[in-house]
Structure 1
């Protein structure tokens, strides 16, 4: 199935983009990190925590284990260094999950309860597409927030990742 290599590449891209974004955010002071900014989750701290929480929620659904969070606006890691470590671990978990997928599972449905407790059934491939799109969407918001600081935002373009990956 052609989708398996695609989703596995998206998992690697996700880790690459997060490493670049977090490297830039590491140059922010704690005050700048938590400062209010325009965005749905109105700070870099809240936005990057939201991405992590969302990833954990979806991976728990994919792996059919108990949800680790009850709200999408939770901030389990207010300190940057702790969030960075958690992010790195979650990115490895994403790569491991996609590496273990097979065509039969990818062709199936994902049954789960959404955050409101409503039962949902969605094809797994579309759930994965949403999962990766969600990361990119909010990472773009964080990138825009970083633009309002003195720290230069890194390129997160997938084509840059692909060129680096293909060159190695």
Structure 2
């Protein structure tokens, strides 16, 4: 399980970088325009992903800042948002490397932002949710990009494993 989550953290970093490359090609207007995604624009969706990851990392590690709303705009500037995204991706890579096999069974109690009733979940389930959540919203951004005539971004896990993630195939 440890190796699996390390691979997911590595893939997540790779895929986020590709999505940011795609968004960098947009005009400011297209990047910020409401395109019907859950959080509206590519800009708001990228901010949401960073917000959510900070919340989950705070729950898991007990460190870092975590907003109390899911739609907070942490960074207006794209370059600053991208730098913060890379830092959070690096935190997930470091976290998954630091965990022992037993850590994945550890129960974590926290209070969700959307429903303030304490819950307890196993760490493995929390991490699975985080990486799945990222994939879900990257898909929304991909739709925004292609609807604006941008090239389709290859985000498939197998594409990662055949290129930058080859070391995970052994």
* Same fold (TM > 0.5): yes
Q: Corresponding residue for 1:166?
A: 166
Give yes or no for contact 1:12–1:95 (8 Å, CA) kept in 2.
Answer: yes
Q: Report the Cα distance in structure 1 between the residues aligned to 2:76 and 2:144, rounded to whole angstroms.
A: 17
Q: How does 1:8-27 map to 2 (within 5 A)?
A: 8-27=6-25
> Which secondary structure does the structure 2 equivalent of 1:28 belong to?
coil
Give yes or no for contact 2:57–2:64 (8 Å, CA) kept in 1.
Answer: no
Q: Report the Cα distance in structure 1 between the residues aligned to 2:103 and 2:65, rounded to whole angstroms.
A: 20
Q: Report the Cα distance in structure 2 between the residues aligned to 1:89 and 1:149, rounded to whole angstroms.
A: 28
Residue-by-residue CA offset, 1:41-94 (whole Å, 9 max, x unaligned): 110001111111111100110102365201001111122111111111111111
In the alignment, structure 2 segments of 5+ residues that lack a partner are none
In the alignment, structure 1 segments of 5+ residues that lack a partner are none
TM-aligned CA deviation for residue 6 of structure 1 = 0.4
Q: Report the Cα distance in structure 2 between the residues aligned to 1:142 and 1:118, rounded to whole angstroms.
A: 31
Q: Corresponding residue for 1:119?
A: 118
Q: Report the Cα distance in structure 1 between the residues aligned to 2:92 and 2:63, rounded to whole angstroms.
A: 15
Residue-by-residue CA offset, 1:101-121 (whole Å, 9 max, x unaligned): 111211111111111332110
Give yes or no for contact 1:61–1:67 (8 Å, CA) kept in 2.
Answer: no
Q: How does 1:1-168 map to 2 (within 5 A)?
A: 3-65=1-63, 67-115=65-113, 116-164=115-163, 165-166=165-166
Aligned positions, number = 166
Q: CA RMSD in A?
A: 1.5
Q: Report the Cα distance in structure 1 between the residues aligned to 2:33 and 2:122, rounded to whole angstroms.
A: 39
Q: Report the Cα distance in structure 2 between the residues aligned to 1:24 and 1:67, rounded to whole angstroms.
A: 27
Whose relative contact order is higher, 1 or 2, with alpha carbons under 8 Å and at least 6 apart?
A: 1
Q: Report the Cα distance in structure 2 between the residues aligned to 1:51 and 1:153, rounded to whole angstroms.
A: 20
